RNA sequence: GGUGAGGUGGGUGAGAGGCUGAAACCACCAGUUUGCUAAACUGACGUACGGGGUAACUCGUACCGCGGGUUCGAAUCCCGCCCUCACCGCCA
């Protein structure tokens, strides 16, 4: 969330930045400032009354000790009015401050100045394109047909067991999944990320910390009996490891990577492009997370983007990098790059990674700070990125690498799969 | 699921209505001493919000798991909830 103190002294800047998302926040910001002013006045009066009450209580204590019971009794009556007044003030402060918080929480993160203005995916900037469109044999098939042809992914079986969007991977299909996970984790290790195996359910506090709650309430699977949410991404449990902590400066940057299955209800999404692996309720993903010093976060964003691109290059996949416009960015992000792989049989780009700098948006919610050289606590910056999400990578691999003899496995994966062709 | 114990500052742990934002010890930081290191000694050392000051700092308030209650006054008493640990049961 945006810091209240920041809004107070940079209201116009906040409005200007949010306009990059196509949002007019002028009214909300005005209400925040007005309500905050009232809340502070109220709190000030409340605290003065509390101070007075504390003082009288202390005096009574002294009187009691020196045996002046009568004077003490007299003092007691003085507190009645204060207590009465306090009751009202406390309720007012609570109401006003809750309103301020509610309003602030409703605001998405302010985009970085380099984020292009825009409303939708059409306004995203293509930063670069790598590789070229692969030449496919005649009668090339989309991945869902390849999956059936080689009996490596069974979508219907998944429907029977759980429902649409829960595919069953079989044989070499399952091995390919495992190989990719292992490959991604090993690469992350080599790049200095510490591997984490987090819980794949989280409590509501964690959901709030990374911004899924209350913004995306309906998008997570929820187990009411235990009040737990199935994670939509490893970002949630991993980033929440740093909730309510004050880190030592020497601990930064923190670099974590973790594999988890991810669960998404995808409520409300629909459309033609959801066949096969394009959109699932359960999928596998290796996520990378960093907690860094503020002055480094934009360099780290570039580094993480380069790292993810390195993976795609090793897999030999034709991809492009998009700089998302304000309107297409996630709620919590200040700047996001999306990586899209080319799906040769579908003739379209598929998003397979999203790398974001959240600046202090998450760390404020998380109360994740670090102690700087001067011994002052300072808000850390958090970033994360998919490195990578499997389904669309698999879709692209199957489609782009199909040959008359079968599906060619990228060289870097062969040590992990133990086979070089799916036939 | 049952029974019992317990949640206090970075850690261990005292406190059992006012003298406690909190003893003591450890860790961390600064300084003194010392060929270096270590040891010893001295000092500083929680967080958040609000007010004042360029600032070092200072004043006020809140916080001893969370939420209520009793009281002039609560870490301390009462009620509810959550969590942790131990043992038993069940079990991958």
Q: Is the pLDDT of residue A272 over 60?
A: no
- The predicted structure's pLDDT at residue A84: 87
| Predicted local distance difference test score (pLDDT) of residue A371 | 80
Confidence (pLDDT) at A319: 97
CA distances from A63 to A49, A82, A84, A102 (A): 21, 20, 24, 46
Q: Is the dihedral of CA A236, A239, A240, A241 positive or negative?
A: positive
Q: How far apart are CA A50 and CA A44, in angstroms?
A: 10
Q: How far apart are CA A352 and CA A337, in angstroms?
A: 11
The pLDDT assigned to A235 comes to: 94
CA of A378 to C1' of B32 (A): 32
- Measuring CA to CA, how many Å separate A276 from each of A144, A280, A327, A399, A423? 5, 8, 28, 12, 19
Q: Is residue A68's beta carbon less than 7 angstroms from any atom in nucleic acid strand B?
A: no
Question: A216 and A236 in contact (C-beta within 8 Å)?
Answer: no
Alpha-carbon distances of A219 from A190, A206, A222, A268, A323, rounded to whole Å = 34, 15, 9, 9, 25
Output the pLDDT for position A396.
96
What is the b/e burial string over A365-404, where b = at least 16 CB atoms within 10 angstroms of the residue's CB?
A: bbebbbeeeeeeebbbbbbbbbbbbbbbbbbbbbbbbbee
CA to C1' distance (Å), from A130 to B77: 71
Angle at A272 between CA A266 and CA A274, to 5 degrees: 45
Res A369: pLDDT: 85
pLDDT in tens, A327-360: 999 999 999 999 999 999 889 999 999 999 999 9
Residue A54 has pLDDT above 60, yes or no: yes
Q: Which of A393, A323, A401 is nearest to A356 (CA)?
A: A323
Q: Reduced to 3 DSSP states, what percent helix, strand and coil does chain A have, rounded to the nearest 5?
A: 45, 20, 30
For residue A300, how far is the Cα from the chain centroid? 16
Residue A314 has pLDDT above 90, yes or no: yes
Average pLDDT on A412-416 reads: 97
What pLDDT is recorded for position A392?
A: 95
E strand or H helix at A35: helix A26-65
Q: What value does the mean pLDDT take over residues A103-131?
A: 93
Q: To which H or E segment does residue A395 belong?
A: helix A390-400
Question: Which domains are delineated in chain A?
Answer: 4-106 (1.10.287.40), 121-422 (3.30.930.10)
User: What 8-state DSSP symbol labels residue A25?
Assistant: -
Q: Helix, strand, or coil here: A156?
A: helix
* A364 beta carbon to strand B: under 7 Å: no
Using the structure, give the distance in angstroms from the CA atom of A239 to the C1' atom of B68, rounded to a whole number. Answer: 33
A91 CB neighbours strand B below 7 A: no
Strand B contacted by A66 CB (< 7 A):
no
The C1' atom of B19 and the CA atom of A249 lie apart, in whole Å, by 39
List the nucleotides on chain B closer than 7 A to a protein CB: 10, 18, 47-51, 60-62, 72-73
Task: Report pLDDT for A46.
Answer: 92
Distance in angstroms (rounded) separating the CA atoms of residues A322 and A338: 5
> How many angstroms separate the first and last alpha carbons of chain A?
51
**Residues 141-200 on chain A lying near strand B, CB distance under 7 A:** none
Looking at residue A137, the DSSP 8-state letter turns out to be P
Residue with tokens 């940079």: A10
Of A117-131, A259-273, A274-288, the poorest mean pLDDT is in A259-273
Which nt has its C1' nearest the CA of A375? B29
Is pLDDT above 70 for A106? yes
Residue pair A10/A107 in contact by the 8 Å Cβ criterion: no
Nearest to A256 by CA among A276, A295, A286, A298: A286
Average confidence score pLDDT of chain A: 91
Per-residue pLDDT tens for A15-50?
A: 999 999 999 999 999 999 999 999 999 999 999 999
Instruction: Give the distance from CA A411 to its chain's centroid.
Output: 32
Retrieve residue A198's tokens. Answer: 């987090």
Confidence band for A269, pLDDT divided at 50, 70 and 90: low
Would you state the structure tokens that stand for residue A315, as one six-digit string?
A: 């897999």
């Amino acid at each position: 969330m945006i810091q209240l103190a920041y809004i107070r002294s940079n209201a116009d800047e906040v409005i200007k930045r949010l306009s990059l998302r196509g949002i007019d926040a002028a009214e909300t910001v005005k209400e925040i400032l007005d309500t905050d002013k009232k809340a502070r006045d109220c709190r000030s009066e409340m605290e003065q009354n509390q101070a007075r009450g504390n003082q009288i209580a202390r005096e009574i204590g002294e009187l009691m000790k020196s045996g002046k019971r009568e004077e003490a009794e007299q003092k007691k009556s003085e507190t009645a009015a204060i207590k009465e007044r306090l009751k009202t003030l406390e309720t007012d402060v609570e109401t006003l401050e809750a309103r301020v918080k509610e309003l602030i929480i409703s605001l998405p993160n302010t985009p970085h100045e380099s984020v292009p203005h825009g409303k939708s995916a059409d306004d995203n900037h293509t930063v670069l394109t790598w590789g070229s469109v692969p030449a496919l044999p005649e009668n090339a098939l989309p991945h869902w047909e390849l999956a059936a042809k080689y009996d490596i992914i069974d979508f219907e079986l998944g429907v029977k067991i759980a429902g649409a969007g829960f595919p069953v991977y079989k044989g070499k299909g399952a091995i390919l999944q495992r190989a990719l996970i292992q490959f991604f984790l090993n690469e992350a290790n080599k790049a200095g990320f510490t591997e984490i195996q987090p819980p794949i359910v989280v409590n509501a506090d964690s959901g709030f910390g990374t911004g899924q709650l209350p913004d995306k309430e309906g998008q997570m699977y929820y187990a009411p009996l235990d009040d737990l949410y199935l994670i939509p991404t490893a970002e949630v449990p991993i980033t929440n490891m740093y909730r309510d902590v004050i880190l030592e400066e020497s601990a930064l940057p923190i670099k974590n990577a973790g594999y988890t299955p991810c669960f998404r209800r995808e409520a409300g999404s629909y459309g033609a492009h959801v066949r096969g692996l394009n959109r699932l309720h359960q999928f596998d993903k290796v996520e990378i997370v960093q907690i860094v010093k503020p002055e480094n976060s934009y360099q780290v964003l570039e580094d993480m983007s380069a790292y993810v691109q390195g993976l795609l290059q090793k897999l030999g996949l034709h991809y492009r990098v998009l700089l998302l416009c304000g309107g297409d960015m996630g709620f919590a992000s200040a700047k996001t790059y999306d990586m899209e792989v080319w799906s040769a049989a579908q003739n379209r780009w598929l998003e397979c990674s999203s790398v974001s700098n959240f600046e202090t948006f998450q760390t404020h919610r998380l109360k994740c700070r670090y102690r700087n050289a001067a011994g002052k606590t300072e808000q850390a910056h958090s970033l994360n990125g998919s490195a990578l999400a499997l389904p669309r990578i698999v879709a692209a691999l199957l489609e782009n690498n199909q040959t008359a003899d079968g599906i060619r496995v990228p060289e870097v994966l062969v040590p992990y799969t133990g086979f070089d062709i799916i036939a």
